[in-house]
Structure 1
Amino acid sequence: MNRKQTVIFGIHAVESALKQRPRDIRVLQLVEGRDDRRLNALAGLARNQGVSIERVSKDTLKEMSLGRHQGAVAVMAGASVGGAKKELLEADLPELIAQQDGPGLWLVLDGVTDPHNLGACLRSADAAGVTAVLIPKDKSADITPVVSKVACGAAETVTLVKVTNLARALETLKQAGVWVYGMAGEAEQTLYDVDLRGSVAIVMGAEGDGLRRLTRETCDGLVKLPMLGSVTSLNVSVATGISLYEVVRQRSLVAN
């Protein structure tokens, strides 16, 4: 394997790449000797998109991927995965805000470094219809093949904004009328006590350390999820999904 090559692997991630970024795929590699409906569907999609197909051995796919490939690996033409539909920088944030039609929903990840957590957060963000996900350029997981696999296609659809200064980016959101709420276990009020029907940003802290001091101080308020059992915290990706869907729930009540 050429270590400079980047790949996307897994049925859902490869399917999303074929639909969203076919020109970035150098070749689609499918395991040989398997008559599988899902793999055949990928092959048909690749042919329609003009993507070359190779049938290769299980050992070859195992070497190419970094996890459970499910018989499909897309070898990308670029030097990095860069899977996001729109990967923007902090300077693009004001224009992105201005383009928002209706209440925005922003997910801010303050230093999530585990690629599995980032992928799961992107998957929840896509499902909840977030406007964009903000992550720091440094001290954060990047979009890697593992992230793309865990995200099940969301890495190719979610708008991702990489910011140099997270606190400054939060101030930009606040100046545009976005209410910024940081998730913190020591908060006095729960997420369910807050009106989330307007434009809001949900800020999640890093695994273990939580929100950084400056991030915490920049938020309009701190909220928490009620913990009714013996555990004192949730995995960041689980907490993200719960928090985003509380926003969805409140807004659905208004719509109905």
Structure 2
Amino acid sequence: MAANNRRMSGKKGAQVGSGGKRRRALEGKGPTPPAEMRKGHAKQRIAQAQARRAQGRPQQRRGGPKGTSEMVVGRNPVFEALRDGVPATTLYVQQFIDNDERVRDALRLAGERGNIHLMEAPRPELDRMTNGLNHQGLVLQVPPYEYAHPEDLAAAAYDEGADPLIVALDGVTDPRNLGAVVRSVAAFGGHGVVVPERRAAGMTAGAWKTSAGTAARTPVARATNLTRALEAYQKAGIVVVGLAADGDREIGDLEALEGPVVIVIGSEGKGLSRLVGETCDFRVRIPMPGGAESLNAGVAAGVVLYEAARRRG
């Protein structure tokens, strides 16, 4: 038996009890690296975002797929979009168009931007591009909006030495409400807005217009799943506060607004969805002695953000 054992030990290949691994593969790989060095970990993404900002490099946005290109059609809508700073890539002008005041103003504003292509096109081509809408000879192409990642909003706040102040929208489908929220966030020193990827308003030309230019400096992040995004914020030490008509306390009594906080605002009709409401650390209400049942998202955001800014000094 001893001789037989010696012959077996001299064979090439895996040893008994090795699980099919050679000796070198069984050696330890050292201590687990810190979270900031683990590929795909949330803390690594935050650290990378902070490094990019420190180096002055453009921030990479990872909030899911980009939106689709949008066409603004009609003389007044095109003029207003250009006047209000809506991003645009190309202004299409119909051949032999009647050169009235709105056309001249639109061409002037596009020329002043310096980065908008002016393209002349026959009417049938514009009809095809707009699916037969009444374009009145002017069509403005708006590029897809590049959304941030929800974690980048918190990272940017901490990078500035501030506690995050973020607004998340749950079921808000009107782009004008989104634009109004973006404007309020910018006005009261917030760090961005989070919207769900589905069944929610996106950063369209209408949202840009309502934001009155503040969308250029206030990031909007898109979450594949809003509940999970809120849970990730909670794990990072950020308090999640939901606005609800049946909240158990008033917004003026909430000390959590003084620290890192995400304020969740639901739709005017349905309020917060069940899962989002259950995820919130607090459910608070805005006192309305006048008897109104609810406020739209833009107004509600302004009220809460003012209170947060007042408490933060």
* TM-score normalised by length of structure 1: 0.73
The Cα of 1:162 is off from its aligned counterpart by 0.7
1:209 is matched with 270
Equivalence map 1:117-128=2 (5 Å) = 117-128=177-188
Structure 1 spans left out of the alignment, 5+ residues: 66-71
Structure 1 stretch 142-151 or stretch 91-100: which is displaced more? 91-100
For residues 11 and 247 of structure 1, the distance between their equivalents in structure 2, rounded to whole angstroms, comes to 36
Change (3 A) 1:188 1:45: same
Counterpart AA for 1:183: L
Structure 2 spans left out of the alignment, 5+ residues: 1-67, 121-126, 128-132
For residues 64 and 117 of structure 1, the distance between their equivalents in structure 2, rounded to whole angstroms, comes to 25
Q: Does 1:192 align with 2:192?
A: no
For residues 201 and 179 of structure 1, the distance between their equivalents in structure 2, rounded to whole angstroms, comes to 6
For residues 45 and 249 of structure 1, the distance between their equivalents in structure 2, rounded to whole angstroms, comes to 39
Which has the greater radius of gyration?
A: 2
1:26 is matched with 90
The Cα of 1:126 is off from its aligned counterpart by 2.3
Q: Which runs of 4+ in 1 moved over 6 A?
A: 38-41
Counterpart AA for 2:90: R
Task: Give the match's secondary structure for 2:258.
Answer: coil
Task: Give the match's secondary structure for 1:87.
Answer: coil
Counterpart AA for 2:306: Y
* TM-score normalised by length of structure 2: 0.61
Counterpart AA for 1:14: L
Higher-strand-fraction structure: 1
Give percent identity, aligned residues only. 33
For residues 271 and 90 of structure 2, the distance between their equivalents in structure 1, rounded to whole angstroms, comes to 39
2:208 is matched with 148
The Cα of 1:141 is off from its aligned counterpart by 1.3
Change (3 A) 1:249 1:7: farther
Deviations 1:195-239 (A, max 9, x none): 222221111012311111121121111111101023222222211
Equivalence map 1:51-200=2 (5 Å) = 51-52=116-117, 63-64=134-135, 74-76=140-142, 78=143, 81-82=144-145, 87-90=147-150, 95-96=155-156, 99-195=159-255, 196-200=257-261
C-alpha contact (below 8 Å) 1:28/1:51 kept by paired residues:
no
Task: Give the match's secondary structure for 1:181.
Answer: strand
C-alpha contact (below 8 Å) 2:241/2:261 kept by paired residues:
yes
1:68 is matched with none
- Greater relative contact order (CA < 8 Å, ≥ 6 in sequence): 1
Counterpart AA for 1:228: P
Q: Report how many aligned residue pairs link the two structures.
A: 230
2:49 is matched with none
Counterpart AA for 1:125: V
In the alignment, which of 79, 82, 85 is matched to residue 14 of structure 1?
82
C-alpha contact (below 8 Å) 2:249/2:283 kept by paired residues:
yes
For residues 43 and 139 of structure 1, the distance between their equivalents in structure 2, rounded to whole angstroms, comes to 33
Change (3 A) 1:152 1:94: closer
The Cα of 1:17 is off from its aligned counterpart by 3.8
Change (3 A) 1:149 1:228: same
